């Protein structure tokens, strides 16, 4: 009887400069789709890309939607911690920004709250990709993006040392 192994994630570190560049690329993809009534950042991951997008698209009406689903690396029950304060109705004309769509769980919750808003992310994984309207870069489902606010410079093992090989 084999014991089920936890998934092995491929680390994908992202620097502040890369995140800024990809957030700006997201703004380029969104500029022709506006004008926007305002922007809603999904906290916490969407706050940095949202700031860049808001600047690039000259959006001054900004709100947050706080949804928690991750505890470190484990995805758990979804909780809406704070809804939007603005009168956004069904979200028509509003832009929602997040850093990443992974399984699509958060995106589906956002869609229930604001079904006509436009959802944009910097990164998209295959499972969540159908739930987002605009994204910049697709990564594999087994990729773990290490955002700059979650990392510190440190020495790491070369890939060849982290992969199991037949003996």
Q: Which residues are annotated as a binding site for xanthine?
A: 102, 145
CB-based contacts of 25, cutoff 8 Å, min separation 6? 136
- 123: which strand partners? 100, 137
Q: Which residues are annotated as a binding site for GMP?
A: 102-106, 144-145
The SS3 assignment for 16 reads helix
Of the candidates 63, 71, 90, 98, the residue annotated as catalytic is 98
Q: Which residues are annotated as a binding site for Mg(2+)?
A: 99
Token digits for 20?
A: 């800024």
Q: Which residues are annotated as a binding site for guanine?
A: 102, 145
Q: Does residue 142 carry a catalytic annotation?
A: no
Q: Which residues are annotated as a binding site?
A: 44-45, 98-106, 144-145
Of the candidates 102, 133, 142, 150, the residue annotated as catalytic is 102
Of the candidates 99, 133, 142, 150, the residue annotated as catalytic is 99
Token digits for 136?
A: 């910049």
Q: What is the CA radius of gyration of the chain?
A: 17
Judge whether 119 and 137 are in contact, CB under 8 Å.
Answer: no
- The residue with tokens 């979200």 is 91
Judge whether 100 and 129 are in contact, CB under 8 Å.
Answer: no
Q: Does residue 63 carry a catalytic annotation?
A: no
Q: Does residue 99 carry a catalytic annotation?
A: yes
- Catalytic center residues: 98-99, 102
């Amino acid at each position: 009887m084999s014991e089920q192994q936890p998934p092995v994630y491929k680390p994908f570190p992202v620097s502040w400069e890369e995140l800024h560049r990809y957030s700006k690329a997201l703004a380029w993809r969104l500029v022709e789709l506006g004008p926007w009534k305002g922007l809603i950042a999904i906290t916490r991951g969407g706050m940095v890309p949202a700031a860049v997008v808001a600047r690039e698209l000259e959006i001054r009406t900004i709100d947050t939607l706080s949804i928690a689903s991750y505890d470190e690396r484990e995805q758990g029950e979804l909780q809406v911690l704070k809804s939007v304060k603005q009168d956004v109705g069904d979200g028509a004309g509003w832009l929602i920004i997040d850093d990443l769509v992974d399984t699509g769980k958060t995106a589906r919750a956002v869609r229930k709250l604001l079904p006509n808003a436009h959802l944009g992310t910097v990164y998209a994984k295959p499972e969540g990709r159908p739930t987002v309207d605009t994204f910049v870069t697709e990564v594999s489902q087994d990729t773990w993006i290490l955002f700059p606010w979650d990392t510190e410079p440190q020495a790491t093992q070369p890939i060849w040392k982290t992969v199991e090989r037949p003996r």
